[in-house]
Amino acid sequence: MTLLEITLLAPLLGGLLLALLGHRPIAGWINIAVGMATFGAALVMALEVFEHGPQLSAGRMFYIDAFNVYLVVLTAFVGLTTSIFSRPYMRHEVERGRVTDRRLRLYHSMYQCFLFSMLLALSTNNLGVLWVAMELATLTTVLLVSLYRTPEAIEAAWKYFILCGVGIAQALFGTVLIYFAAESKLGGDRDDTLLWTVLHSVAGGGLDPAVITLAFVFLLVGYGTKVGLVPLHNWLPDAHSEGPTPMSAVLSGLLLNVALYALVRVKMLVDASLHTNLAGNLMMGFGLLSFTVAGLFLHRQHDVKRMFSYSSIEHMGLITFGFGMGGPLATFGALLHMTVHSLTKSAIFITVGHACQLAGTQRIDQIRGLIRTQPAIGWGLLLGTVAIAGFPPFGVFISEFLLLMATMKAWPWLTIPLLVGFGVAFAGLARHVQRMVFGEPPPGQKPVEANMLPVVVHLFLVLWLGLAIPGFLARWFEQATVLISGASPL
């Protein structure tokens, strides 16, 4: 069994096992164990890829290169830490009566299935399977979003389901069009035609530009819905705020990344066959719009998880903008930003989850004085916010700075909206978080059982990435950058 198979099978089998096992207390631990197995296998696989270069599995079904392997590791890692967090969190939710035992089983099972679908989406070599996995990810998370069965949760899940379903259907149409273009070019073995490796190798030779352009529009709208690009983003704040917090952490930290990954893969194809900057320009426009609008939305939030989900939209917009800009520096920055954003945002959601349990509500104006009631949570939230707002010495600062630099080089005038956007977003976060952390705690507020280990680990990693990108990681990013943009940033 190859490492890749372990990486994929562990969550799949884990999901089945957890579905059979029911709600026993050990389920939480098994969840963690499966996460660990996945992460371990992914890490070893990553090291192998790092040493020996891209791997194509037997039957060419899976393709692992520098770009997706690091996302695989990131996914497995955040999946692991979130499962560590979710054990006490979900137990607390059961105690509060928000979740029944049956649903806890559903939660655990779906959690692993969701991880499986994301890992599949990342590692597959087939654009069609990529689409299938993305749809699967939607289906599994729909159940998780509606876990609490409150009217709001149901409503959010429904919107998520319909909007993402529609979106992903557009992506399917785009995939069909790509297949159409490739098929008319290649003929031959039909099963190979949608393979990424095959497509990428023929793309330079000229897939039909008109078809590819149309396909890209459909794919952009489709996967863009999942990325949460404005104006396709409307499902995102609902789904993030109404689902259980571990779900929000993985949705923000991982699902958006995977969708963006799909988009970038497609963009690589399109760029290779179009020789214009159409794809990049569309992505830049989309990204900038999302970045600005989401920053404004931050100001008007009453719900803390909703606020941070808008922050996710904002950062996704920024990353899309970066990838859209292309060029080694921007791509490097966008890759780095993807990483640090996932780490930071999942840490923030974990902290926010504890904070909400502490205050018994998600309403910002009722969460106060965290730092006094439970300093670990208060500091976690504060540092997380500082990090996500792009303050040095955290890694987000470095990646945002890189993106700014790249913008300054390629599109000097766009630096201004970017800087304004940073300011607006920071103000939006600061005005809410400051009061949540430092305000006067309401009487009778008691600390809760919290596992801050994932937060500490995540923030530490982000800090580390901000202080010094470790050599192997830098080379890794560099390889990925070369893959995507064709040139090295270093």
Partner 1 sequence: MEFAALSLYNQAIILFAALALFTSFIMLAQARMMPLIFTFAWQGLLLTVVSVLVAIASGHPQLHISAAITFCLKVVVIPYLLYRLSARLNMQYDAEVIEHPTLLLLGGVALVIFSYHVSQSIIHLSGLATRNTIAVSMAIELLGMLLMCARKSAVAQVIGFMSMESGIFFAAVVSTYGMPLIVELGLAFDILVASILFGVFFFHLRDSFGSLNVGQFNRLSEANQPMPSPEATEPSSGERS
Partner 2 sequence: MSGAMIKMGIYGMVRVSFDLIGEVRWEWGIVVLIVGTASSLLGVLYALMQHDLKRLLAYHSIENIGIILMGLGMSMIFLGSGHRMLGTLGLVAALYHTINHALFKGLLFLGAGAVLYRTHERDLDHMGGLIHRMPVTAFLFLVGSVAISALPPFNGFVSEWLTFQTALQAPALENGLLRAMIPIAAALLALTGALAAACFVKAFGIAFLGKPRSRRAARAREVPVGMLGGMGLLAALCLLLGVFPTTVIEAMAPITQLLVHESLPSAAAQGWLWLTPISPEVASYSAPFVVAAIIVVHGLGYLFLRRRAIPALRAYPWDCGFGHLTSRMQYTSTAFSQPIRRVFGGVWKVEERIDTLAGGGPIPRVTSLHYDLHTQDWSWLKIYLPIGRLVLAAANRIGFIQTGNIHTYLKFSFATLLAFLWIVS
Residues near partner 1 (CB under 8 A)? 126, 128-129, 131-132, 135-136, 139, 142-143, 146, 149-152, 154-159, 161-162, 165-166, 169, 172-173, 176-177, 179-181, 183-184, 190-191, 193-194, 208, 210-211, 214, 237-238, 241-242, 297, 299-302, 364-365, 431-432, 434-435
Residue 221 in the binding site for partner 2 (CB under 8 A): yes
Give the residue, chosen from 79, 253, 326, 428, that forms a contact with partner 2 under the rule CB under 8 A: 428
Measure the CA–CA gap between 351 and 371, rounded to whole angstroms: 12
Residue among 190 and 409 whose Cβ is closer to partner 1? 190
Measure the CA–CA gap between 406 and 408, rounded to whole angstroms: 5
Stretch that binds partner 2, among 5-13, 23-31, 211-219, 357-365 (CB under 8 A): 211-219
Tokens standing for residue 20 = 């059979």
Measure the CA–CA gap between 482 and 391, rounded to whole angstroms: 28
Residues of this chain, 105-134, that bind partner 2 according to CB under 8 A: none
| Contact call for residues 274 and 214 (beta carbons, < 8 A) | no
Measure the CA–CA gap between 454 and 298, rounded to whole angstroms: 25
392 contact, one of partner 2, partner 1, none, CB 5-8 Å limit per kind:
partner 2
Q: For residue 461, what are the β-bridge partners?
A: none
Residues of this chain, 161-200, that bind partner 2 according to CB under 8 A: 162-163, 166-167, 170
Residue among 118 and 450 whose Cβ is closer to partner 1? 118
Q: CA torsion sign, 246 to 86 to 133 to 102? A: negative
Chain mean position to CA 357: 24
Task: State in angstroms the smallest separation of the CB of 300 from partner 1.
Answer: 5
Task: State in angstroms the smallest separation of the CB of 149 from partner 1.
Answer: 7
Stretch that binds partner 2, among 16-24, 57-65, 187-195, 397-405 (CB under 8 A): 397-405
Residue type, 163: L
Residue among 24 and 409 whose Cβ is closer to partner 2? 409
Stretch that binds partner 2, among 86-94, 192-200, 228-236, 365-373 (CB under 8 A): 228-236
Task: State in angstroms the smallest separation of the CB of 275 from partner 2.
Answer: 15
Give the residue, chosen from 36, 94, 202, 217, that forms a contact with partner 2 under the rule CB under 8 A: 217
| Contact call for residues 466 and 392 (beta carbons, < 8 A) | yes
Measure the CA–CA gap between 56 and 51, rounded to whole angstroms: 14
Nearest one of 330, 452, 349, 338 to 395, comparing CA atoms: 338
353 contact, one of partner 2, partner 1, none, CB 5-8 Å limit per kind:
none
Stretch that binds partner 2, among 84-92, 348-356, 357-365, 401-409 (CB under 8 A): 401-409
298 contact, one of partner 1, partner 2, none, CB 5-8 Å limit per kind:
partner 2
Q: Which residues of the shown chain bind partner 2 in the complex (CB under 8 A)?
A: 158-159, 162-163, 166-167, 170, 213-214, 216-218, 220-221, 225, 230-232, 234-235, 237, 278, 282, 293, 296-300, 329, 391-393, 397-398, 401-402, 405, 408, 423-424, 427-428, 466, 489-490
